[in-house]
C-alpha cells in the first residue's frame, strides 16, 4: 500500500511513500505521520491511500504514526481540502493554519511538583527533633491535608520548601509526585453556573422553526434587531444540540467578544465549554486541542481560527455577527472566510449552520432572496427595552474656538444628563492614537512612514509618531522636512485625543479606553469590559471593537464621533461597512428598561448610507446597496479574485504585474481591472500593485480554472525576480 503525504510547506505537491506492513489499515487520510523529506523525518498528513503508487522512481517509506491526538477527523479533513481548492492555496499551508507547527510537536504540559505525607511521616511527628523546626512545621501542615500539595505553595512553613521537602523525602517521611500544569484559558474568567434560558414568544418561534426542520445540514440566517436576544436563541439551540449528544461550534468576530459570549455559554454548560482565539498561548492551545480530541468539550467558543477546532460529532455551527470582515483571513494564506468555511464544514458534518446579525452582509441577504438560506427574524427587542432614539448631528454647523469641534452641543448635553443619572455612555471613535496627521501648514506636506505609504499617527502616550502598518515610530519634528518651515501642526482625532477632550469636559467622569493600544496585554480586554460592566467607569471609549455584540444594562447613550470614517475608502464595500457600524453601535444603548439614545456626528448628513443607518431602515439600505452592486457587477452579482504583487523594487513589481495582466486579457467571460498601484502602495518597504478579476458567472470553479490555465500553480509558490504573487478569492478589502 502507498500513501500520498502533504507537508506544512508552500507547495501544491504531495509526496508518495510506502506504508510499512506494520501500519497497514491504520494509515488513512488525515493521519499525521513521520516521513523522510530532505533527509530528515518531518511531520506530514496523509492525503490519500492507494494500492498503486503510479510513480516509477525510488519510493521512501513512512517511518511512523505520530500521536493519535493529531489525527484530523474525516469531515474536517474534507473541509481543509475544499479550502485548498477554493482559495487556491497549497494543502500544506492550509494544514499549517489548521494544525500549527507547535501542535506537530505534541504539547506536553509543564510538570509541577506535589508532595504528600507518608504513614512513616505521620508516626514521626510526635518524636521529631526540635532542632529541625522547618521540617516539623511542614510535616504538621501536610498531616492535616488529605491530598497532594504543590511544593511551591509551602513557603508559609519553610523559606525553602523544595530543599526541606527533598530532605524529608530522603528520610521517607513524605513522597513527591509530578502532575501536569493545567493551562485552561478559562481560569482568568472564573467558573460558570448552569443557567435556565427563558425565551420570549418570538424567540421560541425561531427555535421551534429550526428544531422542527429536518435534521442535518441546513443554512439559516437569523436577522434580528440589536437587543432582540439572538444570543438567547442560539444558547437554547446549543443546549438542545448538546442534549442530543452532539457538539456545538460558536464563532465570534472579535477577541473582545469571545470572553463575554464564552462566559454566557459557561453559565449554561459549565466546564464543557472551551475557548479558542489567537491571544491564547501555545500551551493553552495545545492543552485545549488535546481535551477536544479526548471529547472533553461539547462547545467551543472562539474567533476565526476556531473553525478548525477538532470537535467530535458536530451538530450545530453558529456564526455570530456574520457580516464582520474580521472573519476573513488576510495574511498569511490560506485567505479563507470563516463564515463560508462554516457552511462547507456544516455540510461535511451534516450539521445545521446558523448565521446571526442585525445587519447581514449583502451576500447573505442575497442568498436568502435566492432561497439558498432560510430567513428567520426577530423584530422586537427582548423584554421591556425599546430601540434608542437616534439623532443625526451635522458637524458643519458646530463651532469651537479652534474651528474643529470634536463634541457637538447635543452630545455634551446628553453625556451630562447620563452622568447626573449615574447611567453609562459608550463613545465610538474608529481611529486609535491622538492625531491622525502631522502636517506643514506652509507647503501642505504630510509626514509619512518611510516604509509604508501612509501618514504617521501621533500617540500621546509616548509623544511619538507611529505607523499602524509596520509599527515603526519617529520623534515629531518642529521643522518641515520638505520646505524647512517651522509651522508643523497636528490634525485629525484618534481615541487618545477624544479621551483628553472627554476628561476636560467631564473631569469627574471615569473613562475607560479600549483600542489596540490598550488591549495588547493578555486578558486586558476582559479586565476593561469587566470594569465597565461592574460600574467602575462612566464612559467606555473605543474603536470598532466596542461597536457590536456587547451588552451592558446601564448604557443609555451611544455617541459616534465621526460617522464618516471609512466612507470614502476606495473599496466597493465602504458604504456597507459604515451603515453596519453605525447601526450596530447605536444598538448598544437602552438594552433594558431605561430608554436609550444614539447621537451620530457627521459632516455628510445627506449620504444615503448614513441616513439609512440613522433611520434604522435596513430594507431601504439593502434595496439601494444591491441596486448599486448589480449596476457595477460587484458581489453578490459576480465573483471576484484579487491578485496582489509585492516586492522591494517598484519598477520590477509594476512590470511583472503588467505582464500577468496582459496574459489574463482576451477572455470575454472575465473582466480584468488593472493592474494598478494598490490604494496603499507600499507596506513594510514592499511596493504593491494589484489587479481584479471579475467573473460574470457566480460559479467560482470557472474562475479557478481560468486562473490555473492562464497563470498556473507555480507562481504562487515562490518569488519571481523578487516579486511575490498573492491571490485572494472573494476579497473583503481592496486596500
Domain end, chosen from 423, 458, 492, is at 492
**Are 361 and 412 members of one domain?**
no
**Are 443 and 430 members of one domain?**
no
Read off the CATH number of the domain in which 711 is found: 3.30.70.600
Q: CA 119, 122, 126: angle at the middle one, nearest 5?
A: 145
Q: How far apart are CA 588 and CA 226, in angstroms?
A: 8
Are 276 and 301 a contacting pair, CB within 8 Å?
yes
Q: What are phi and psi of 27, to 5 degrees?
A: -90, 125
**Are 167 and 212 members of one domain?**
no
State the DSSP H helix or E strand holding residue 632, giving kind and residue range, or none if neither.
helix 618-632
Kind of pairing between the strands at 149-150 and 111-117:
antiparallel
**Are 374 and 313 members of one domain?**
yes
Q: CA 637, 341, 321: angle at the middle one, nearest 5?
A: 75
Q: Give me the pLDDT at residue 467, please.
A: 92
Q: How far apart are CA 593 and CA 118, in angstroms?
A: 61
**Are 523 and 580 members of one domain?**
yes
Would you say residue 27 lies in a domain? yes
Are 374 and 240 a contacting pair, CB within 8 Å?
no
Q: How far apart are CA 575 and CA 593, in angstroms?
A: 32
The 8-class DSSP code of residue 455 comes to B
Q: Which of 411, 418, 422 is nearest to 598 (CA)?
A: 411
Q: Give me the pLDDT at residue 370, please.
A: 95
In angstroms, what CA-CA distances link 61 with 44, 58, 254, 392, 655? 13, 10, 44, 70, 45
Kind of pairing between the strands at 2-6 and 15-18:
antiparallel
**Are 84 and 128 members of one domain?**
no
Cα end-to-end distance, the chain, whole Å: 49
Task: Give pTM, 2 decimals.
Answer: 0.84
**Are 319 and 370 members of one domain?**
yes
Would you say residue 383 lies in a domain? no
Q: Give me the pLDDT at residue 698, please.
A: 64
Domain end, chosen from 49, 70, 104, is at 104
Would you say residue 634 lies in a domain? no
How many separate domains does the chain show? Answer: 6
Q: How far apart are CA 269 and CA 89, in angstroms?
A: 37
**Are 366 and 511 members of one domain?**
no
- The neighbour count for residue 714, using CB atoms within 10 Å, is 11
Strand order in the sheet with 639-647: 670-683, 686-695, 639-647, 724-729
**Are 619 and 499 members of one domain?**
yes
Grid cell of 304 as nine digits: 476565526
Domain end, chosen from 570, 594, 628, is at 628
Q: How far apart are CA 404 and CA 503, in angstroms?
A: 18
**Are 399 and 530 members of one domain?**
yes
Would you say residue 633 lies in a domain? no
Across 631-669, where does the E strand assignment appear? 639-647
Read off the CATH number of the domain in which 84 is found: 3.40.1440.60
What residues in the chain have per-residue pLDDT under 50? 188-194, 403, 714, 717
- Domain, as residue range, for 477: 435-492
**Are 53 and 156 members of one domain?**
no
Would you say residue 734 lies in a domain? no
Would you say residue 735 lies in a domain? no
**Are 212 and 317 members of one domain?**
yes
Read off the CATH number of the domain in which 614 is found: 3.40.50.300
Would you say residue 384 lies in a domain? no
Would you say residue 360 lies in a domain? yes
Amino acid at each position: 500500500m502507498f500513501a500520498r503525504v502533504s507537508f506544512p510547506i508552500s507547495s501544491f505537491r504531495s509526496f508518495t511513500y510506502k506504508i510499512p506492513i506494520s501500519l497497514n489499515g491504520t494509515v488513512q487520510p488525515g493521519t499525521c505521520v513521520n516521513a523522510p523529506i530532505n533527509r530528515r523525518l518531518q511531520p506530514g498528513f496523509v492525503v490519500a491511500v492507494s494500492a498503486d503508487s503510479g510513480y516509477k522512481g525510488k519510493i521512501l517509506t513512512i517511518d511512523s504514526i505520530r500521536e493519535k491526538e493529531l489525527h484530523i477527523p474525516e469531515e474536517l479533513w474534507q473541509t481543509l481540502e475544499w479550502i485548498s481548492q477554493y482559495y487556491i492555496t497549497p494543502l500544506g499551508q492550509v494544514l499549517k493554519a489548521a494544525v500549527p507547527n507547535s501542535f506537530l510537536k505534541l504539547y506536553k504540559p509543564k510538570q509541577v511538583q506535589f508532595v504528600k505525607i507518608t504513614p512513616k511521616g505521620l508516626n514521626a511527628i510526635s518524636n521529631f527533633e526540635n532542632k529541625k523546626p522547618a521540617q516539623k512545621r511542614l510535616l504538621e501542615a501536610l498531616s492535616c491535608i488529605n491530598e497532594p500539595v504543590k511544593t511551591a505553595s509551602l513557603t508559609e512553613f519553610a523559606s525553602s520548601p523544595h530543599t526541606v521537602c527533598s530532605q524529608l523525602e530522603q528520610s521517607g517521611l513524605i513522597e513527591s509526585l509530578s502532575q501536569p500544569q493545567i493551562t485552561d484559558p478559562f481560569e482568568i474568567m472564573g467558573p460558570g453556573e448552569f443557567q435556565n434560558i427563558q425565551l420570549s414568544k418570538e424567540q421560541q418561534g425561531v427555535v421551534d422553526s429550526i428544531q422542527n426542520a429536518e435534521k442535518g445540514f441546513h443554512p439559516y440566517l437569523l436577522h434580528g434587531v440589536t437587543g432582540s436576544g439572538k444570543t438567547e436563541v442560539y444558547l437554547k439551540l446549543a443546549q438542545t444540540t448538546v442534549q442530543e449528544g452532539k457538539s456545538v461550534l460558536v464563532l465570534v468576530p472579535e477577541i473582545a467578544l469571545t470572553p463575554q459570549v464564552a462566559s454566557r455559554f459557561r453559565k449554561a454548560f459549565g466546564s464543557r465549554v472551551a475557548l479558542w482565539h489567537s491571544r491564547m498561548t501555545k500551551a493553552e492551545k495545545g492543552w485545549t486541542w488535546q481535551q477536544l480530541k479526548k471529547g472533553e468539550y461539547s462547545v467551543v467558543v472562539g474567533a476565526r481560527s476556531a473553525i478548525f477546532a477538532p470537535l467530535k460529532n458536530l451538530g450545530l455551527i453558529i456564526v455570530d455577527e456574520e457580516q464582520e470582515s474580521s472573519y476573513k483571513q488576510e495574511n498569511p494564506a490560506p485567505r479563507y472566510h470563516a463564515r463560508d468555511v462554516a457552511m462547507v464544514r456544516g455540510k461535511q458534518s451534516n450539521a445545521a449552520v446558523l448565521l446571526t446579525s442585525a445587519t447581514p452582509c449583502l451576500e447573505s441577504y442575497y442568498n436568502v432572496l435566492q432561497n439558498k438560506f432560510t430567513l428567520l427574524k426577530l423584530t422586537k427587542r427582548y423584554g421591556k427595552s425599546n430601540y434608542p432614539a437616534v439623532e443625526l448631528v451635522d458637524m458643519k454647523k458646530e463651532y469651537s474656538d479652534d474651528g474643529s469641534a470634536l463634541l457637538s452641543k447635543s452630545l455634551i448635553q446628553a453625556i451630562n444628563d447620563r452622568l447626573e443619572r449615574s447611567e453609562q455612555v459608550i463613545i465610538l471613535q474608529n481611529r486609535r492614537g491622538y492625531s491622525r496627521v502631522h502636517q506643514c501648514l506652509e507647503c501642505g506636506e504630510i509626514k509619512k512612514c518611510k516604509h509604508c505609504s501612509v501618514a504617521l499617527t501621533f500617540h500621546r502616550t509616548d509623544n511619538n509618531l507611529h505607523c499602524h502598518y509596520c509599527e515603526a515610530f519617529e520623534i515629531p519634528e518642529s521643522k518641515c522636512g520638505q520646505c524647512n518651515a517651522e509651522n508643523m501642526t497636528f490634525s485629525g482625532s484618534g481615541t487618545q485625543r477624544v479621551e483628553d477632550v472627554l476628561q476636560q469636559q467631564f473631569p469627574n467622569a471615569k473613562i475607560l479606553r479600549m483600542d489596540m493600544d490598550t488591549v495588547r496585554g493578555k486578558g486586558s480586554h476582559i479586565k476593561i469590559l469587566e470594569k465597565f460592566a461592574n460600574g467602575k467607569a462612566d464612559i467606555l471609549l473605543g474603536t470598532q471593537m466596542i461597536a457590536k455584540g456587547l451588552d451592558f444594562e446601564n448604557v443609555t447613550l451611544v455617541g459616534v464621533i465621526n460617522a464618516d470614517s471609512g466612507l470614502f475608502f476606495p473599496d466597493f464595500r465602504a458604504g456597507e461597512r459604515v451603515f453596519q457600524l453605525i447601526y450596530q453601535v447605536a444598538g448598544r444603548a437602552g438594552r433594558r428598561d431605561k430608554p436609550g439614545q444614539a447621537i451620530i456626528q457627521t459632516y455628510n448628513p445627506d449620504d444615503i448610507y448614513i441616513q439609512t443607518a440613522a433611520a434604522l431602515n435596513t430594507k431601504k439600505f439593502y434595496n439601494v446597496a444591491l441596486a448599486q452592486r448589480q449596476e457595477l457587477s460587484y458581489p453578490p452579482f459576480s465573483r471576484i479574485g484579487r491578485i496582489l504583487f509585492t516586492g522591494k523594487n517598484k519598477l520590477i513589481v509594476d512590470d511583472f504585474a503588467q505582464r500577468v495582466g496582459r496574459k489574463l486579457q482576451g477572455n470575454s467571460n472575465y473582466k480584468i481591472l488593472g493592474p494598478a498601484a494598490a490604494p496603499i502602495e507600499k507596506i513594510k518597504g514592499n511596493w504593491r500593485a494589484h489587479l481584479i478579476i471579475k467573473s460574470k458567472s457566480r460559479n467560482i470553479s470557472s474562475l479557478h480554472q481560468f486562473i490555473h490555465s492562464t497563470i498556473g500553480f507555480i507562481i504562487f509558490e515562490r518569488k519571481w525576480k523578487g516579486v511575490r504573487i498573492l491571490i485572494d478569492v472573494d476579497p473583503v478589502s481592496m486596500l
